[in-house]
Structure 1
Amino acid sequence: MTDQVSDVTGTDPYSWLEAIHDETALSWVREQTARTESELYDTSFDQQVQQIKTVLDAQDRIPMVSKRGEYYYNFWRASEHRLGLWRRTTWQSYLSDEPQWEILLDLDALAISEGQEWHFAGSSLLRPQGAEPYERALLRLSPDGGDQVRIREFDLSSKSFVEDGFDFPVAKTHASWIDRDTLLVGSAGSEQFTTRSTYASTLRRVGRGVKIEDAPVIFEVKKDHVAAFGYFDSTPGFERVITTDAIDFYRSRTGFILEGAHHVIQVPDDVQVSLHRQWVLFAPQTDWEHQGQILVAGSLAIARLETFLEDGTIDKVLFVPDGSNALEGLSFTANYLLLTVLQDVASQVRVISLTENFNETLMPLADPMLNISVGAVDDEDETAVDDYWMTITGFITPTTLLRGTVGSHGTVVKRSPDRFDATGLEVTQHFATSADGTKVPYFQVAPENLVLDGKNPVLMDGYGGFQHSMTPGYAAAMGVGWLSRTNETDRRAIYVMTNIRGGGEYGPTWHRAALREKRHRAYEDFAAIAEDLVARGVTSREHLSATGRSNGGLLMGNMIAGYPQLFGAISCGVPLLDMKRYTQLAAGHSWIAEYGDPEKPEDWEFLRTFSPVHRLSDQPHPVDDYPATLIWTTTSDDRVGPSQARIMAAKMMDLGIKNVRYHEPEGGGHAGSTDNESTAKMLATSYEFLWRKVH
């Protein structure tokens, strides 16, 4: 092989690695994977895997639930149930220390009976008539942990799959109940009805016993759009089909089909629209002028749907960002709207009354270093119409689950025990100055008596894309696998979570600041934080490691190719790395709005500047400057695909860059794992590689 990669004039000598299941490519994958495992998988590694798996399997972790009717549903994996149990219990039982669970489906037993392993990917229950119990469900089952699923109809009474019931073959499919004998289905099961982004281009009304391809199309989008998304809203009094034409990742058109008529909400394509009962919410991604009023990017407005359709009246702008905050999430109870807001990446919850002129109050929260999330329990249950779930978590604070009623303090329902010894650790927030002068926040989890002499082993974590916010949370596996480590001089491992541009920590403007041709700002932010850690004396290059997955893997690729002198080791997981070919692989076409279109010369001009496999040639560094690098993915990743990781690793090796390792197990999809054991092994592989290089 040569050290060239594909460009507008040449051919790609690594194209053979794109054939995911080609035996020649797989032979290379197996050889590299075996090499990595032979170096890492020893007694120390096995101990790490076991410690992480013990945490993941812990029987006293909080079983999070969803309420449907009188039951609370949960999916649970443990050592004796590797594939997991789908189960339910009553409220009184759930409140006890040892709830009595009714097992609906044992996935391990199913694997034995059917001779194939299925991985649980979610459920959708059919709303019953009146006070009748829930009887039917649609189960999403993945064969390998990827995005493609088989959807099967399940009987809750007999606890078995319905004979001759709804059963859709493995594909990128979504479905919702219209009634007992009818579903709304979008499926990319055939090329004819699949977008370039590999998602469904149609929504169909599928009757019992009718094949998808024979069912009538009720909604369709163009093939160069991302997808046709939709669901049937079965809320009593508001029954309708909700449709979304996802033009790209940030532009869409939302509407609803009622009595055969399709009503599209007429707003700019970059205004996100959501419907709930009689309400419609608007979240503009850029400033939106509407009837003489400017709704700034990142704000949230509410209107009565019927009135808005008539004359465009907006009732109230509920949230306006001030430059230091962003709307993170929302949830409706019967009479309130709960808004989760990030204030300099610290959580607060605002309560909006839907019955008292949208009056606003603030839920009192104790610690700004904790992450809070809230959600309605069941706004249709007369005994719980304004009840909410609240989870509170932090880097070194185990998760607590509360339940409350709006207007009163929540009561603790479950509390997770400590999973690792955090004695002497503290969480602090810092701000680094990026290349353009922007202040970029990051969290640091480190000993209270930290010695600032540059000798502390540090793991940086980053993402910086798709308006995804990185927020504090109790990651027990990370605590066991990283924060619990000490080196031979008794220095404890330090963890740093970065909040770089491209994310959503400060709303759409923070995200758009690193969009497309501005992408370099995300990488400058991450590099600035690395430099700040060194300048503060926290660490030095030889003790600094970094990790990221997916878009975070692209971040790591740009650290490798653009800033290799800053890091001692990098773990680059399920990554995008070849920005010339990414739109032609897996679901890559759907991300053009985020990165740009390499088929357009004017876009390729800037895309090439953050395409790691090209930067290796365009901006070469001495081979000894590159950090120890672990590039990893899975063969079954059907979102990004494994070929980009393969190509980057192969090229680095061909360039003579030492200490490059590659790892690619078969199963796990884009998540990287399918069960607790494979999750423990995936995490331990990354942690162990990094620790051995920088401790």
Structure 2
Amino acid sequence: MRRLSLLALPLLFATAPHVALAQSSSETSSTMTAPLDYPETRRGDIVEDHFGITVADPYRWLENDVRNDPEVAAWVAAENKVTDAYLQTLPGRDVFRRRLKALIDYERFGLPVERGGRYFYNHNSGLQNQAVLFVRDSPNGEGRVLLDPNGWSKDGATALAEWVPSEDGTKLLYAIQDGGTDWRTIKVLDVATGKPLSDKVEWVKFSALSWARDGSGFYYSRFPEPQAGEKFQATNENQAVYFHKLGTAQSADRLVYATPDHPKYGHGAYVTDDGNWLVIITTEGTDNRYGVTVLDLTRPDAKPRTIISKLENEWSPAGNIGSKFYFLTNKDAPRGRIVTMDVAATDPLATVAELVPQTEATLQGASMVGGTLFANYLSDVKSEVRRFAPDGTPKGEVPLPGIGTASGFDGEQGQTETFYAFTSFARPATIYRYDIATGEVTPWAQPEVAFDPEQYDVRQRFYTSKDGTRVPMFIVHKKGLKTPAPTLLYGYGGFDISLTPAFSATRLAWMEQGGVLAVANLRGGGEYGKAWHDAGRLHNKQNVFDDFIAAAEDLIAEGVTTKDQLAIQGGSNGGLLIGAVTNQRPDLFAAALPEVGVMDMLRFDQFTAGRYWVDDYGYPSKEADFKVLYKYSPYHNIRSGEDYPAIMALTADTDDRVVPGHTFKYTAALQHADIGTKPHIVRIETRAGHGSGKPTDKIIEEYADMWAFAAKWTGMKVTAKE
């Protein structure tokens, strides 16, 4: 679906990596009574006035890049030493590690892409650190390795990121991601020989990649080269679209589109299936508020023409027939609809016509393949895929194998097939081929796993939040489990991102030991469209925290768990969530796992992609927004004198999405405060970033540590599996 794949927007990740699990031992130890001996952290004297409010920031120096500041590097080493020593004492760690390794060791496939009769797809045999790119030279041919990133670095932390085959399938455009950074290096491969061409493009981030139809070159977006020493911290501005002609140096790339008068605008470009149009989508933040510019590629003298200039609504292209374009939009439809527009008209907006009206379900994505329009909906957080003719006539639904999440349905107008993946909490992702003419569905890649999905119970519950809002939550555990039981509650609540059912080997390891998994679909996400998102952002952000707290209280009231058995987890914006609710209700949780969290809400916009997030958080420089942000900022609201749960914060040294300084400062403040004797530690990964590209072995170790930590403080008795 193009809505999710067109632009690599600088969003904050919402789900845990799907491969992970490991940890050890059979008995939990008694509650620790003495605090850990934390490293001494220097406190600075920075105090600033914000609209008449005095705010201290004693750990500002921890924002410095660990690569360039010896004092920060020494602090990281000292903290990791304490954390490593503590984790070695945890019962269950080795058991989790071994079981995670076994559970992750299954064959996994990515969605195939057909070009020129060749089929390109990712494949991981099980425990490979990075997925390998394969190609089949015919539909039923034997796959051969095209790119294997596992030999690109000694530690397995250099990954193959985005890739796009040329229209005739003879060349491959691919991106290299090193150590988890968002920066990409772009190269080109000859598919027949497997040898790289001389082309190399750098300083690419948050970019679409799109070939010219004739294969002469490709379109991409890049930022100016950062100043020395600022690669991982400087704010990302002045992104522009370029065309790279094959066989030439990057310095010769042609500037296609830029907005120097709007340096915060980001631009992603793609060529339509017919090769006649270049479509440029412009954004400013993370909201689905787009500008649209088109370039007629059939006219050598044509200039980019902006047809939607105001960034007010979503306009996600789904396909085109000539100059008639199909868009998914939320204009006058907060849950989404599909419209058509003639982009060649004198006034394109005047030609907008509704094709598929808004429904009770939330429209998540749309794409046109082989003359059929596929629309992917969420109905109470479960996928439904509906088909339409180009004139909007309904053609029925794509059959799905149960309650879960469907994704894919990409392709081109001339194709007769498309592929999609389906997954659920107890069902690993299976790839299906869909015959567009007959509607026949056949499995294309079906993994075999070392567990029985029928042993698990998946149910959806609706609970009531503080203001009376009805909020959905998935609850998953082994059938016949006696409750109350140790429970892991996961949440996100932001950036219009929906938490849909998905398989995770890491979570399975938790549930195998008698744990419960609960996933709350908080406001701020996209589960019920724009209104649901708006109800959990900006000045409504407290609703997200209230929804999560209410989920915890509901699990306790329903007898699923107790407050002494409840661990909470969230990453990125979800890390902010965990930090905020722990401050607001430290009595409610036994353990907290905030990952790569946004912890300083007064300075998040000063680094890398942080300036995009004002769409969800607001501007710290504006008084009304500042007062809201300061009230819930995790770093600023740690409550000395309260007994806090056990906390293990997690970050990585190459995270240039949410810079690690957020977690460094938060951890230092936790360890300085009088919040009880339970451990308040930080786990700092090296050569890793915000999540993408992380090698399998690092994932196993990370989740082994997290689950052992959560098991220790929720009273889980971890036993070895035969």
Q: TM-score w.r.t. structure 2 length?
A: 0.84
Q: 1:680 aligns with which of 700, 703, 708?
A: 700
When structure 1 is superposed on structure 2, of 549-558 and 220-229 the one drifting more is 220-229
Letter in 2 for 1:166: D
| Aligned CA distance change for structure 1 residues 14 and 274 (closer, same or farther; 3 Å) | same
Q: Match of 1:72?
A: 119
Q: Match of 1:478?
A: 507
SS in 2 for 1:426: strand
Instruction: Report if the CA contact (8 A) 2:45-2:57 is conserved.
Output: yes
Q: Match of 1:402?
A: 432
Is it true that 1:159 corresponds to 2:190 in the alignment? no
Letter in 1 for 2:164: S
Cα deviations by residue, 1:410-453 (Å, 9 ceiling, x for unpaired): 1223322243345543111111111111000101013444545x
Letter in 1 for 2:636: H
| Aligned CA distance change for structure 1 residues 551 and 345 (closer, same or farther; 3 Å) | same
| Aligned CA distance change for structure 1 residues 643 and 342 (closer, same or farther; 3 Å) | same
Is it true that 1:339 corresponds to 2:375 in the alignment? yes
Is it true that 1:466 corresponds to 2:495 in the alignment? yes
Residues 98-113 of structure 1: matches in 2 within 5 Å?
100-111=142-153
Letter in 2 for 1:101: G
SS in 2 for 1:678: helix
Residues 198-213 of structure 1: matches in 2 within 5 Å?
198-208=236-246, 211-212=249-250
Instruction: Report if the CA contact (8 A) 2:458-2:476 is conserved.
Output: yes
- Matches of 2:542 and 2:46 in 1, distance apart? 21
Residues 309-328 of structure 1: matches in 2 within 5 Å?
310=347, 312-322=350-360, 325-328=361-364
Instruction: Report if the CA contact (8 A) 2:157-2:693 is conserved.
Output: no
Letter in 2 for 1:229: H
Letter in 1 for 2:698: S
Instruction: Report if the CA contact (8 A) 2:385-2:397 is conserved.
Output: yes
| Aligned CA distance change for structure 1 residues 235 and 634 (closer, same or farther; 3 Å) | same
Q: 2:201 aligns with which of 159, 168, 178?
A: 168
Cα deviations by residue, 1:112-149 (Å, 9 ceiling, x for unpaired): 7xx99632112122223xxxxx2222220112121111
Instruction: Report if the CA contact (8 A) 2:240-2:259 is conserved.
Output: yes
Letter in 1 for 2:279: I
Is it true that 1:261 corresponds to 2:303 in the alignment? yes
Q: 2:273 aligns with which of 235, 238, 241?
A: 235
SS in 2 for 1:623: coil
- 1:210 positional shift: 5.3
Instruction: Report if the CA contact (8 A) 2:563-2:589 is conserved.
Output: yes
Structure with the larger RCO, 1 or 2 (CA within 8 Å, 6+ apart)? 2
Instruction: Report if the CA contact (8 A) 2:161-2:693 is conserved.
Output: no
Cα deviations by residue, 1:443-467 (Å, 9 ceiling, x for unpaired): 1013444545xx3100011111111
Instruction: Report if the CA contact (8 A) 2:292-2:309 is conserved.
Output: no
- Matches of 1:92 and 1:127 in 2, distance apart? 16
Letter in 2 for 1:371: T
Q: Match of 1:645?
A: 663
Count of residue correspondences: 650
Is it true that 1:19 corresponds to 2:64 in the alignment? yes
Q: Match of 1:615?
A: 637
Q: Match of 1:292?
A: none
Q: 2:690 aligns with which of 670, 674, 678?
A: 670
Q: 1:661 aligns with which of 654, 670, 681?
A: 681
Instruction: Report if the CA contact (8 A) 2:601-2:630 is conserved.
Output: yes
When structure 1 is superposed on structure 2, of 426-435 and 220-229 the one drifting more is 220-229
- Matches of 2:273 and 2:404 in 1, distance apart? 34
Instruction: Report if the CA contact (8 A) 1:3-1:651 is conserved.
Output: no
Q: Match of 1:634?
A: 652
Q: 2:174 aligns with which of 105, 118, 139?
A: 139
Q: Match of 1:489?
A: none
Q: 1:184 aligns with which of 206, 213, 219?
A: 219
Q: Match of 1:445?
A: 476
Cα deviations by residue, 1:212-249 (Å, 9 ceiling, x for unpaired): 4554432112476544323240523x422221221222
Q: Gaps spanning 5+ residues in structure 1: where? A: 95-99, 129-133, 289-294, 486-491
Report the identity percentage. Answer: 24
Letter in 2 for 1:153: V
Letter in 2 for 1:391: A
Cα deviations by residue, 1:222-279 (Å, 9 ceiling, x for unpaired): 476544323240523x422221221222232111112322222237522222332234
Is it true that 1:390 corresponds to 2:417 in the alignment? no
Instruction: Report if the CA contact (8 A) 2:101-2:700 is conserved.
Output: yes
Q: Gaps spanning 5+ residues in structure 2: where? A: 1-41, 717-722
- 1:47 positional shift: 3.6
| Aligned CA distance change for structure 1 residues 342 and 229 (closer, same or farther; 3 Å) | same
Q: Match of 1:568?
A: 590
| Aligned CA distance change for structure 1 residues 116 and 328 (closer, same or farther; 3 Å) | closer
Cα deviations by residue, 1:336-384 (Å, 9 ceiling, x for unpaired): 11111111112212111115x53352344453x3223351455423xx2
Cα deviations by residue, 1:608-643 (Å, 9 ceiling, x for unpaired): 122111122xxx25332x111010110000111100
When structure 1 is superposed on structure 2, of 357-366 and 560-569 the one drifting more is 357-366
Q: Match of 1:53?
A: 101
Q: Match of 2:316?
A: 274
- 1:685 positional shift: 1.8
